[in-house]
Structure 1
Amino acid sequence: MGPLIDEIGRTFNLSESLLGLLTTLPLIAFGVISTVTPYFTKRFGLGQTLLWSMVLLTAGIVIRSLEGVFFLYLGTTILGIAIAFGNVLIPAITKNNFPNKAGLVTSLHSATMSFGAALAAGLSVPLARDLNLGWEGSLITWAILSFIAIFIWIPQIKKIKNTTTTRSLKVAMRKLSGSRLVWQIAIYMGLQSLAFYVILAWLPSILLDYGYNEEFGGWMLSLSQASGILGALAIPVWAASQKDQRSVITLLIVVEVISFIGLMFPHSFPVYIWIASLGFVLGGTFGLALLLIVLRAPDSETAAELSGIVQSIGYFLAAIGPFIIGLIQDLSNNWKYSLGFLILVSCYKLVAGLQAGKAQKV
């Protein structure tokens, strides 16, 4: 939706704050729904829950494109709920069906998500303008892919091994919520997501204020997403091959901090170096955060519960990131302060990551 947000705003005469709410709704849905997903998986199983989340996703995409601002917000909320289910379920399915290939499967999953986001960002405007579909037609086009995915998934459901334990989900969730390790994983994932969404929202504006034009800013955002795909492919496989993940986490944070410092002084070196390295790291840390959920859970049930708690906390942190950066920029009118804040975030992410990266189970 990002590339079409201005056109959507003009159609309904929406203020900047209402447009901000529109883009934040999915993140809020991620945070709220993630914690209740394990209740659905216990009742319906992993495969069936994911199937109905895909049906809900398709419905949300269609409703979002109907005429009227009410349907725009309703559809966006529905698809946010659907994506939240998928976000929680994939690590659990990985633990359930691919426990010995967690690194590879997580790499493919996170890289596919990054590629899909980049593809949608690149094609949304051409679909709307070059093919004269308008923003409504451009957005509803993606329902075709989700509809196809439903029929691809249906035969796979019988391959999902459902657990038969009778343990109390309420007790299990309470126990996980009190675990220091769970909170460290959640903070690590949340701060990773915060940095990612800040770059996604503000990178073009940062470059514009540094004297680059809008076209260059768009290309640099695409570069960060493309390099993120490479990071998402490479890092989880590498991290899974290690005895623990602390050295991988440390190296990624060091590169991230150097990249932010480079963005503070964009004319000292070619700015695309810092953007490419930052994109690679953010893509890699996203995949690594998902991998930590799989590696730290002893079984698929715990993976679903851990995934729900971690992603709920994580996306609430992510939701406030772009707002905080915007506020810092409004107060200081200098992006160096905002980038300095992101460096502090990276340092705290390292502290959480060094605990989450230890070879242990929740």
Structure 2
Amino acid sequence: MFGENISGSSELTTELQLGQRRVVTLRWRAPLLMVAVISASIAVRPPITVIGPLAETVHASTGLSSTAIGVLTTLPLVVFMLVSAQVSRVARQLGMEVAMAVGFAFVLGGSVIRWVPSIPLMYLGTAVVAIGLTMPNVLLPGIIRRDFQARIGPMTSLYIALTAGGSGVASFLALPLAIDLGWGWRATIASTGVLAAFAAITWSLVGGERHEPAAEILTQTEVWRSRTAWWVALFFSTQTLIFYCVVAWLVPVLTAKGLTPTASGAFLGGFSIVGIGSSLLAPILAARQPSQSTAAAAFGVIQVVGALGMLVSTGLAAGVFALVLGVGAAGGFAVAFALFGLRAPNHFVSSELAGMAQTVGYGVAAVGPLLFGFLHDLFGNWNVLLGAFVLLAVFAVALGVLAGRPLFVSAGSPLGNHLDEMHVS
């Protein structure tokens, strides 16, 4: 079903020439590409989200301060900010599939480095892991745009849902693996490399395209000068900021609201799990219409309700509203991710847009948790953070409306009037 645009001809191998672009299509490429997308979806979040639940264990074992441990969560975001805009250049040289395989090989290598009993190597390995993760972060929207053009919504839903599931499962299993099964925190963190290894193998087997760099001229300047691209980037920024602030601070916020640390940790895992449904639904709804403004605004409103409910409630009710926020945040992030493909006329522009938006979004997300932590220290009250969440969700509604308008990033023209790329089926 999903492979209708990439399955090729009846011959074992068909080589097609489109301008200077060569695409090698294999009979088994369609199902293998599906497996590769699924493996990437599951592997992309656990190397980062596994750290949060183990923070106290790491502190007890190493004596690192909370700030030093927080750097392990912030460092990947800084790397994403610095590297994301360069990924499309690497992909044009190597081809998207090879670049994906190389990226997950980096994740595997960084995971092995993090296993070594050395604090400096823990930070080095985390940076290497983050460099590798920029590849799937940036390139998957373009791959979906290119190879599943008629299924952008469902494929984006699949990717986001599996990403949320992988993140939630990693959060739930981290402590049981490290403590109950006796793996220890280093081995538990390093174990996420197994997922990356499988993803690297599947992407290396997909094979595919090699590009003539001179034939694919798309400057970053064109994307960075587009107003539509900036609306998409700013909307994406609100979603990444909400997610990473929740990951960093939800447990102490709910604990201050009267829940036990164990219950608060469970609600943090639930924050990701409950979003799977909205992750599946949001891109499908968004892709059905030329404009995604309504879908983006709707999930933004759900975020407003969740953040406002957490602000005014205590105890179990605060945890329930955190789950409401999770539904809205997952749906909003899924719409933002879908916009990388839906706002682009072809997969080259899609990758450039994803790189630009993630440079901006992860830059904001890297500063956000530190800023909110500073505000808590300054005012001594988590309600300041929750009030900021409410304002941020309101901004997300407005930015989602602007980002969802039916305009292509590259030319700013109405979707119906733009000549899209030729697609080989």
State the TM-score, normalized to the length of structure 1: 0.95
| Aligned with residue 214 of structure 2, among 166, 178, 191 | 166
- Map of 1:53 onto structure 2: 103
What's 1:100 paired with? Answer: 150
Q: SS at the partner of 1:166?
A: helix
Structure 1 residue aligned with 2:404: 357
Deviates more, 1:33-42 or 1:127-136: 127-136
CA distance in 1, matches of 2:128, 2:223: 28
**1:177 corresponding residue in structure 2:** 224
Residue 152 of structure 1, CA deviation: 2.3
Structure number with higher relative contact order (C-alpha < 8 Å, ≥ 6 residues apart): 1
Indicate conservation of the 8 Å contact 1:262/1:269, yes or no: no
Please give the per-residue CA displacement for 1:111-143, whole angstroms capped at 9, x wherever unaligned: 111111111111111111122111112122222
| Structure 1 residues 169-227: Cα deviation after superposition (integer angstroms, max 9, x where no partner) | 5x620111111111111110011110111111111111111111112111211221111
Aligned 8 A contact 2:236 2:336 in 1: yes
| Closer/same/farther in 2, CA of residues 123 and 268 from structure 1, 3 Å limit | closer
Choose from 28, 32, 41 the match for 2:82: 32
What is the DSSP-based 3-state SS (H/G/I as helix, E as strand, rest coil) of the residue aligned with 2:307?
A: helix
Q: Cα RMSD (Å) of the superposition?
A: 1.7
Aligned residue runs from structure 1 range 49-198, under 5 A: 49-158=99-208, 161=209, 166=214, 169=217, 172-198=219-245
CA separation in 2, counterparts of 1:98 and 1:133? 40
1:163 deviates by: 5.5
State the number of aligned residues.
Answer: 359
- Which residue, out of 307, 312, 337, partners 2:384? 337
Q: Residue 251 of structure 1 aligns with which residue?
A: 298
- Runs (4+) of structure 1 exceeding 6 A deviation are none
Query: Is 1:230 the counterpart of 2:277 in the alignment?
Result: yes
The answer on whether the counterparts of 2:259 and 2:315 sit within 8 Å (CA) in structure 1 is: no
Quick one: which amino acid aligns to residue 163 of structure 2? M
Q: Unaligned stretches of 5+ in structure 2?
A: 1-50, 410-425
Which amino acid in structure 2 is aligned with residue 230 of structure 1? G
Q: What is the letter of the counterpart of residue 149 of structure 1?
A: A
The structure carrying a bigger helix percent of its residues is: 1
C-alpha distance in structure 1 between counterparts of 2:212 and 2:99, whole Å: 16
How big is the shift at 1:273? 3.4
Q: What is the TM-score normalised by the length of structure 2?
A: 0.81
Structure possessing the higher radius of gyration over alpha carbons? 2
Q: Percent identity?
A: 30
> Which segment is superposed worse, 340-349 or 190-199?
340-349
Q: In 2, distance between residues paired with 1:44 and 1:210?
A: 51
Structure 1: tracts of 5 or more residues without a match = none
User: Equivalents in 2 of 1:111, 1:145: separation in Å?
Assistant: 16
The code of the aligned residue for 1:301 comes to F
Shift in CA distance, 285/185, structure 1 to aligned 2, threshold 3 Å: same
